[in-house]
Amino acid sequence: MKEHGIHERQQQLRRRALLTGAVLLLGLMLAGCATRSAPPPGAEPAAPPARQATGKAASIVRTARTLIGAPYVWGGHSPSTGFDCSGLVWFTYRQNGITLPRISWQQFGTGSAVAFDEMRPGDLIFHKVESKGKSLHVGIVTDRGTFVHAPSSGKRVMESSLANTYWRDHFIGARRIL
């Protein structure tokens, strides 16, 4: 019986390694397709223009903001246990009657592509990050030139500026769901 549990765990680890490899490969392929204009040397990068959230997008942004302060938990997808980045997106959209895939790289395949300067509230924004085996990060664009996201272990769901140099440099794409 104990041997069966070990075998099952080894299979889980193999699947996770394959999935991580696929996500890394996808991220590398997509990074070459990212479109953004670089600010002039020495200039602070600009956030896309703030746009008013209306209808379903306003509801999604409101829901996401109510979750600010929830703890980051890898694999988390509820306010009672905490969130990882894709779990936050999945939960927020689900609360608003929209079904999305649970995993960030699958979420990157939904909706339609949007340029950085064309993002609107409710759009999903994706970044390539390198942190403890994680490579694709997702958040929800707001009406303030910010996005709501679950950043990483030890942190909490927060709202960050799209003009932040780190996030701007790691931007790989945005998707419009609504």
Active site residues: 85, 137, 149
Q: How far is CA 100 from CA 110, 134, 160, 174, 178, in A?
A: 8, 20, 23, 15, 11
Asked if residue 81 has pLDDT above 90, the reply is yes
Mean pLDDT of 96-123: 97
Mean pLDDT of 97-114: 97
- Give the model's pLDDT for residue 135: 86
Higher pLDDT, 33 or 57: 57
Domain segments of the chain as ranges:
55-176
Averaged confidence pLDDT in the chain? 82
Percentage helix, strand, coil for the chain under 3-state DSSP, each rounded to 5:
35, 20, 40
- Amino acid type, 166: Y
Going by C-alpha positions, the residue among 105, 164, 113, 160 that lies closest to residue 138 is: 105
Answer whether CATH 3.30.70.100 is correct for domain 55-176.
no
Mean pLDDT of 129-133: 73
Asked if residue 29 has pLDDT above 60, the reply is no
Q: DSSP H helical segments within 32-125, as ranges?
A: 55-66, 85-95, 104-107
Pairing assessment for the beta strands 134-141 and 146-149 based on DSSP bridges = antiparallel
- Give the model's pLDDT for residue 34: 33
Question: Tokens 């397709």 label which residue?
Answer: 33
Asked if residue 116 has pLDDT above 60, the reply is yes
How far is 139 from 147, CA to CA, in rounded Å?
Answer: 6
